[in-house]
Amino acid sequence: MDIITMARELGKAIQQSQLYKDLETANEVTEKSVELQKKLDEFSELRTQLNKEIMKTEGDKDTDLIGELDNKLRKLYDDITNSPEMIAYNATKKALESELSFINQIITGSANGENPDLIERQVSCSGSCSTCGGCH
């Protein structure tokens, strides 16, 4: 079996893993939450309004409206990110990303000559939470 075929098999195994299935379930829960979807739609609409106001020429901008829209967006963002559905989704996504990071460490280490059976999970901080597999 060549390595591309094995990579495809690994991809299939990932999709059969409990972490992947949990993420799919968490995603379905967020999509089915009427309240959360309403907030997401409102957030998108407010963001569009804010961007339109910001893009206006200097004399036409309504700075009070910009501040008001910005405050509404921030509150709505907090409401969305602190909803039980999004907390569960983000935690599940983080767990899967952590596992994928470890898989990548094994592959990269192996390609650099390390023994794949001896590669341990390494958690390092790049300073960017968006690329992080998790501190905990």
CATH number reported for the structural domain that contains residue 24 in this entry: 1.20.1500
* CB-CB neighbours of 8 under 10 Å: 12
Per-residue pLDDT tens for 64-99?
A: 999 999 999 999 999 999 999 999 999 999 999 999
Residue 111 is assigned to a structural domain of this protein: no
Angle formed at CA 35 by CA 29 and CA 38, multiple of 5 degrees:
110
Report the C-alpha gap between 54 and 10 in whole angstroms: 46
Length of the chain: 136
Residue 24 is assigned to a structural domain of this protein: yes
Residue of 94, 122, 127 whose CA lies nearest to 108: 122
Residue 19 is assigned to a structural domain of this protein: yes
Q: Which residues of the chain have pLDDT under 70?
A: 124-136
Quote the domain boundaries for residue 64.
3-106
pTM over 0.85: no
Report the C-alpha gap between 135 and 112 in whole angstroms: 25
**Domain count for the chain:** 1
Residue 90 is assigned to a structural domain of this protein: yes
Within 13 A of 127's CA, how many CA atoms are on the CB side? 0
